[in-house]
Amino acid sequence: MKDAFIAGGWGMYPTLLAGLALIATCVQYARRPEPRYVPLMLSLGLCTLIAGTLGFATGIMSLLRAYAGPLSEEGPRVLFVGTFEALHNVALALLLAMSGGLLASVGAWRLSRRMGNFVTPTAG
C-alpha cells in the first residue's frame, strides 16, 4: 500500500485528506443521521473525486513531458508504467468515495427506519 501511495505522487495527499474528511463525516452521519451532514458529505465526496482526477491528470502531464524529453528513447513501455502510476490517484479516490457511500447508506437506512418510511418488500 505504501508503494502504491508513493507511486501515485503528490496527488495522493489531497485525495487522502479529502477522503479521510469524507469518511469521518460519513461515520458521524451513520452514527447520528441528521440531514445537516448531507451537504458536507456530498461536497467532500466531490472534492475526493476531483482531487483523484487532478492527481491523475497531472501525473499524465508529467509522464508526457518526460516522454517527450529525457525518456524519449525508452520506448512505449514507459507510457504504460507512467499511466499505471498515475491511476493510483483515481483508485484511491474511488476507494474512499465508495467507503463513504457505504457509510452514508447506513446512515440513510437508520434515518428511514427512525422516520418510519422504511418499506419492506412483500412476497408476491
Task: Identify the band that residue 73 occupies on the pLDDT scale cut at 50, 70 and 90.
Answer: confident
Q: Cell 497531472, residue? A: 58
Mean pLDDT of the chain: 91
Task: Determine the average pLDDT of the residues in 50-61.
Answer: 96
pLDDT for residue 114: 84
pTM assigned to the model: 0.85
Whether 1 shows a pLDDT value over 80: the answer reads: no
Whether 53 shows a pLDDT value over 60: the answer reads: yes
Listed residue (71, 21, 83) closest to 46, CA to CA: 21
Task: Identify the band that residue 77 occupies on the pLDDT scale cut at 50, 70 and 90.
Answer: confident
Listed residue (93, 71, 69) closest to 82, CA to CA: 71
CA distance 54 to 83: 14
Determine if residue 75 is left, alpha or beta; phi over 0 gives left, psi from -120 to 50 gives alpha, anything else beta.
Answer: left
Considering only residues 18 and 1, tell me which one the structure prediction assigns the higher pLDDT: 18
